[in-house]
Amino acid sequence: MLSPVFQKLLGGLFVCTLSSMSYAQSPQPISMGEMFATTCFLCHGPNGQYSGGAIPPLAGYPRDLMVEQLKDFKSGKRSGTIMGRHAKGYSDQEIEAIADYLATLKP
C-alpha cells in the first residue's frame, strides 16, 4: 500500500498531466474570414503570398480596397475569369470578414 503522501503526489502529478494534455490538444479557434480565405490560397499562393505569374498576392492587401473589388466581381461591375463566380458565393458580411483577415497577413 502507498503512503498518503505518495498518494497525494501521484494524484497531483496525474492532475497536472491531464490539464497539460488538454491544453496542448485544444485547437485554436479560427475566424470566419480565415476559414473562407483558405480557398483563396489555392490560386493566390500559400497564406496569400505571391506565388508568381499574373495572379496577385493577397497578404496585406488593403481591407477597403479588397471589399470594393470583391463586391465589384460579385455584381459583375468588374470582369474576371473566375473571381466573379467565387465572389458570388459569399455574402457581403463574408466578403468583409475575408478582407479583414487578409489585411492582417504579412506580405
**Domain enclosing residue 37, as ranges:** 31-104
Q: Mean pLDDT, to the nearest integer, of 79-84?
A: 92
Task: Decide if 68 is inside a domain.
Answer: yes
Per-residue pLDDT tens for 20-62?
544 556 688 999 999 999 999 999 999 999 878 889 999 999 9
pTM over the 0.75 mark: no
Between CA 44 and CA 40 the distance in angstroms is 6
Task: Decide if 2 is inside a domain.
Answer: no
C-alpha distances out from residue 3 to 6, 7, 9, 13, 79, Å: 5, 6, 10, 15, 77
Task: Decide if 26 is inside a domain.
Answer: no
Task: Decide if 8 is inside a domain.
Answer: no
* Count of structural domains, the chain: 1
Task: Decide if 95 is inside a domain.
Answer: yes
CB 49 within 8 A of CB 59: yes
